[in-house]
């Protein structure tokens, strides 16, 4: 998709939004039909429609009805608006759209649920996927429906290697480039591995709690103090679909000592930990989330650090 206009305004039910595919010069339309849905086990998700109608101008909105959906209903989060790929242009009364009476979804085990997270025995078509769809996932679903390939920009310096059959050596780099290309997210600490510098994301209720916690990391309150090295605030905040916040830190020197100390803090205050594995955010509970389905803010405040 093409980037349009980013906004931090919280989307609401009835909002009509536009988006553009790279391979088209047309505007396509969608609508939020529920801004408080429970999808994939996550609360306060956005249930959206993607319509079949198009227009050459985003100001020229065609007649949109629930019976002209391109895809089954989709659950997503704010990232599509925060990153500017969905642009809200107007709002309507939902009854004017002939909204479906029920919205059902299927999970990977074959069980069906409604938009309130309740299991249902007999689903009603169209049935969507029981999960929080990222921007890239939505883009891929639309392209698949239209029978077109999602465009992928591969840097020229890698094309020769691909043509020579050396794809395995550059898969990781190209994968990260594609991830950046689709999600418009700056380099996120922890995506690229560094054997001498470890990254960890620690849960906190808000920025203030994290700042207070950061000043205490490394103390004997949470176990043995690290013998060497230091820890740095990476200024990065990740909010997963259920609203929990995680703050990035990096540490060097006594890697085992710092990790043990951070684990001790999380255990004492009942906080989760997370780390990044390429484009996946992995929690200490082994729950895995697509990184582009999370709200990621890099450099959200001035960097500060402490050294031992």
- Position 142 in a domain: yes
| End-of-domain residue from the set 130, 146, 162 | 146
Residues 202, 298 share a domain: yes
- Position 176 in a domain: no
- Position 188 in a domain: no
Q: Residue 176 — very low, low, confident or very high, per pLDDT cuts 50/70/90?
A: very low
Q: Which domain holds residue 264?
A: 198-307
On whether the pTM is more than 0.75, the answer is no
Residues 113, 23 share a domain: yes
What does residue 39 show for φ and ψ, rounded to 5 degrees? Answer: -135, 130
Give the Cα-Cα-Cα angle 276, 282, 285 (nearest 5 degrees).
150
Which residues lie closer than 8 Å to 142 by C-beta, 6 or more apart? 21, 28, 50, 70, 71
Calculate what percentage of the chain has a pLDDT beyond 90: 32
Residue 284 has pLDDT above 90, yes or no: yes
- Position 171 in a domain: no
Residues 137, 23 share a domain: yes
Q: Residue 307 — very low, low, confident or very high, per pLDDT cuts 50/70/90?
A: very low
| Average pLDDT rounded to a whole number, residues 28-34 | 93
| Average pLDDT rounded to a whole number, residues 120-144 | 86
Which residues lie closer than 8 Å to 205 by C-beta, 6 or more apart? 245
For residue 275 the two structure tokens come to 């780390």
- Position 63 in a domain: yes
Residues 255-274: b if buried by 16+ CB within 10 A, e if exposed: bebbeebbbbbbeeeebbbb
Residues 121, 28 share a domain: yes
Instruction: Specify the pLDDT at position 308.
Output: 32
Domain count along the chain = 2
| Average pLDDT rounded to a whole number, residues 227-248 | 89
Instruction: Specify the pLDDT at position 193.
Output: 64
Residue 90 has pLDDT above 80, yes or no: yes
- Position 178 in a domain: no
| Average pLDDT rounded to a whole number, residues 17-30 | 87
Residues 222, 101 share a domain: no
Residues 116, 49 share a domain: yes
Residue 41 or 259, more confident:
259
Residues 142, 27 share a domain: yes
| Average pLDDT rounded to a whole number, residues 268-297 | 88
- Position 191 in a domain: no
For residue 250 the two structure tokens come to 């990096």
Residues 127, 66 share a domain: yes
The mean of the pLDDT values for the chain is 81
Please, is 249 exposed, middle or buried when counting C-beta atoms within 10 Å of its C-beta (0-12, 13-18, 19+)?
buried
- Position 125 in a domain: yes
């Amino acid at each position: 998709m093409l980037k349009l206009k980013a906004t931090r305004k919280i989307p609401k039910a009835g909002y009509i939004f536009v988006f553009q595919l790279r391979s088209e010069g047309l505007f396509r339309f969608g609508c939020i039909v529920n801004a408080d849905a429970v999808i994939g086990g996550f609360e306060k998700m956005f249930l959206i429609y993607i319509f079949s109608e198009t227009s050459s101008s985003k100001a020229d909105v065609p007649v949109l009805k629930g019976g002209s959906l391109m895809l089954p209903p989709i659950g997503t989060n704010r990232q599509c608006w925060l990153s500017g790929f969905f642009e809200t242009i107007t709002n309507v009364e939902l009854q004017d759209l002939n909204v479906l009476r029920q919205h059902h979804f299927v999970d990977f085990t074959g069980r069906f649920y409604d938009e309130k997270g309740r299991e249902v025995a007999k689903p009603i078509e169209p049935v969507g996927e029981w999960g929080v769809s990222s921007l890239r996932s939505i883009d891929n679903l639309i392209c698949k429906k239209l029978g077109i390939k999602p465009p992928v920009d591969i840097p020229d310096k890698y094309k020769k290697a691909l043509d020579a059959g050396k794809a395995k050596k550059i898969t990781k780099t190209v994968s990260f480039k594609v991830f950046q290309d689709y999600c418009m997210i700056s380099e996120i600490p922890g995506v690229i591995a560094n054997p001498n510098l470890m990254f960890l994301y620690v849960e906190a209720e808000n920025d203030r709690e994290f700042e207070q916690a950061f000043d205490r990391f490394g103390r004997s309150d949470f176990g043995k103090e690290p013998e060497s090295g230091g820890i740095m605030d990476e200024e990065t905040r990740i909010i997963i679909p259920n609203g929990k916040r995680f703050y990035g830190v990096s540490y060097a020197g006594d890697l085992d000592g710092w990790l043990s100390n951070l684990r001790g803090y999380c255990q004492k205050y009942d906080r989760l930990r997370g780390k990044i594995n390429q484009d996946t955010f992995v929690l200490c509970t082994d729950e895995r989330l697509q990184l582009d389905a999370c709200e990621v803010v890099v450099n959200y405040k001035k960097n500060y650090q402490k050294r031992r």
